[in-house]
Amino acid sequence: MKVIHLSNSDISGGAAIAAYRIHKSLLRRKLNSRMWVNTAKSGDWTVSEPKGKLRKGSAQARRHLITPFLRFMRTKNKILHSPAILPSSWSKHINKNNANIVNLHWVGAEMASISDIGRIKKPAIWTLHDMWAFCGAEHISWDQRWREGYTKKNRPSGEKGIDINRWTWKRKLKNWKQPFHIVAVSKWLANCAKNSVIMKDWPISVIPNCINTKIWKPIDKIFARKMLGLPTDIPIVAFGSYGANSEYHKGFDLLVEALKILNGNVNDMQLAIFGQTAPKVYPNLGFDVNFMGHLYDDVSLRLMYSAVDILVVPSRLEAFGQTASESMACATPVVAFGTSGLLDIVDHKANGYLAKPFEAEDLANGIKYILNASNYDELCNNAREKSVKDFDSALVAAKYEELYNNILK
């Protein structure tokens, strides 16, 4: 069986990494898997990017070309918007390839146009890494338009100018006549897709993001701290995301509020923030902060997760929660809000703590609970066990292969 994975990148960003891990897991099962991307960073020969100066240059410029158009809509939702209007030709290359099946992933930032996606004739599944496929142009929606349909009447009151979200949504309805089989990476995302106007009648399965637990496993805590230059005699709480405090849905502001509550209630503790370098100005968090910068390779990330006592994921919304699953693979408990995809990963007081959404005080309670837990070692072991049982790459790859075979019957 030959599979083509279509993704904006292979290892740039969380969705790309998730797609690449699925691709590599299928290769280990001896499937003929190939990945087609706009931007290849891994140096992997099984990953291809556009050939020729024109196609390559167009792939790199597309995201920036659409920026002036997006300025015609003023919105409070600052998340990435992809109207997916610029012409693309991925469907032509996919349809003439000898692949048996195509697996779409994150194709935003003008990688593939809405009409081009609709022209794919191969048997296809679409792994959703965010909400874009059933929304308008926005990749995360804070309203219910995707559930009701995008009308003039239900446009958010704060939006002005051209309703690009409604226009994009209507183009999806027009162009996507043949349903793809949807793979949602969490039960929450599957439920959203099932209740959307666009995908309510599409076949939907739930398969989580995967992690190779033979590689992603705990490293001795003292050794990890020494390697990262962290103190060895004090509890350390970590927070990490791609973009860190710049993205509202990642909830850094809620973590700041929780830390202010903890200040004076916890004896000694330090914070480690990865995913960004130290900003010129940052709020006084009441604790010493270690800015770890961008950690791109698996070894550095394993060291990071193994070095800390808790990973806090204060997100308001996560399609899955990749940092949480990575942390648990390294036997580090997770404190998060009980919301969205994180509900599939963290089991309350078994391998972490699920705080009431979005109460900073309960997030602080969760951090205290884990730090003071008499069964901390048990929480760590449970975290590792959950990762191996539910998210191991061999198990997830087997589910994908079974789905591919069922679709091709």
Judged by DSSP in three states, 328 sits in: helix
Instruction: Return the pLDDT at 54.
Output: 74
Residue 285 is predicted with a pLDDT of 82
Do residues 293 and 277 touch, judged by C-beta distance below 8 A? yes
Average pLDDT over residues 368-393: 97
Res. 351 pLDDT band, cuts 50 70 90? very high
Q: Residue range 53-77: average pLDDT?
A: 85
Q: Give the pLDDT of residue 381.
A: 98
The yes-or-no verdict on residue 267 having pLDDT over 80 is no
Buried b or exposed e, range 20-57, using 16+ CB within 10 angstroms: bbbbbbbbeeebebbbbbbbbebeeeebebbeeeeeee
For residue 61, give both structure tokens.
């410029």
Rounded mean pLDDT of 4-22?
96
pLDDT of residue 246: 63
Is pLDDT of 241 > 70? Answer: no
Tell me how far the alpha carbon of residue 164 is from its chain's centroid. 24
Evaluate whether 116 touches 166 at the Cβ level (below 8 Å).
no
Residue 277 has pLDDT above 90, yes or no: no
State mean pLDDT over 290-312.
93
Q: What percent of the chain has pLDDT over 90?
A: 84
pLDDT, residue 65, reads 87
Which domains does the chain possess?
2-210+393-408 (3.40.50.2000), 221-391 (3.40.50.2000)
Closest of 99, 86, 84 to residue 176, by C-alpha: 84
Nearest Cα to Cα of residue 228 among 284, 307, 136: 307
How many Cβ atoms are within 10 Å of 65's Cβ, its own excluded?
Answer: 12
* Lowest model confidence (mean pLDDT) among 57-66, 143-152, 246-255: 57-66
Within 286-402, strands assigned E span 288-293, 310-313, 334-337, 352-355
Task: Say whether pLDDT at 242 is over 50.
Answer: no
Instruction: Tokens for 347, please give them.
Output: 């089991």
Residues 6+ apart with CB under 8 A from 279: 245
Q: What pLDDT is recorded for position 245?
A: 52
Average pLDDT of span 143-151: 97
Mean pLDDT of 17-27: 98
What mean pLDDT do residues 193-209 have? Answer: 98
- Say what the pLDDT of residue 243 is: 47
The residue with greater pLDDT, 62 or 310, is: 310
Q: What's the pLDDT at 389?
A: 98
Mean pLDDT of the chain: 94
Residue that wins the pLDDT comparison between 395 and 267: 395
pTM: 0.95
pLDDT band, very low/low/confident/very high, at 278 (cuts 50, 70, 90): confident
**Please, which pLDDT band fits residue 136 given cuts at 50, 70 and 90?**
very high
Provide the pLDDT for residue 31: 97
Residue 362 confidence (pLDDT): 98
Quick one: average pLDDT of 311-333?
A: 97
Closest CA to 121 of 180, 163, 184, 61: 180
